[in-house]
Structure 1
Amino acid sequence: MQSSLFNYHLPEERIAQEPAAARDASRLLVVHRQERRIEHRTFSDLPEYLGENDTLFRNNARVLPARLFAQRPSGGAAECLLLRPASNDGLEWWTLLRPGKRLNPGASFSREGYFSAEVVDKNEEKAEYRVRFSLQHHSSVPALAEDLGKMPLPPYISREKSDQRDASDKERYQTIYASGEKAVAAAAPTAGLHFTPEIVDTLTQKGARFHDLVLHVGMGTFKPLQTENIEDHEIHREIYEISENTQNAIRTPQGRRRVCVGTTSVRSVEDYLAKSDSITPGQFTGEADIFIYPPRQFQGVDALITNFHQPNSTLLCLVSSFLAPGKTDGIDWLKEIYAEAISLEYRFLSYGDAMLIL
Structure 2
Amino acid sequence: MPKIDYVVSEKVCTACGGCEAICPVGAPRADQLRSEIKHEEDCRDVDLFKEECSYCVDCYACERVCPILDGFPGDDEFDNVRFVKAGRSPMHGQDGGVTSQILKSLFEQGEIDCAFGIARNEKWETEVILMTRASDVARTSGTKYNYMPIIAGMREIIRDVSHRYERIAIVGCPCQSHAARLLKDNLTDKIKLILGLVCMESFSYENLCQHIIPDKIGLNIEDVVKMDFAKGKFVVTSRTGEVKRVPIKEIAELARDGCHHCLDYTSYYADISLGSVGAPDGWNSVIVRTEAGEEYLSKVSDLELTDDVSVDFLKKLADTKHKNNAWNYKEFMERVWAVGYPNRIEHFGYEVPWKKEAVNVQKYSLQVKSD
Give TM-score scaled by structure 2 length. Answer: 0.25
More helix by share: 2
Looking at both structures, which has the greater relative contact order when contacts are Cα pairs under 8 Å and sequence separation is at least 6? Answer: 1
Give TM-score scaled by structure 1 length. Answer: 0.26
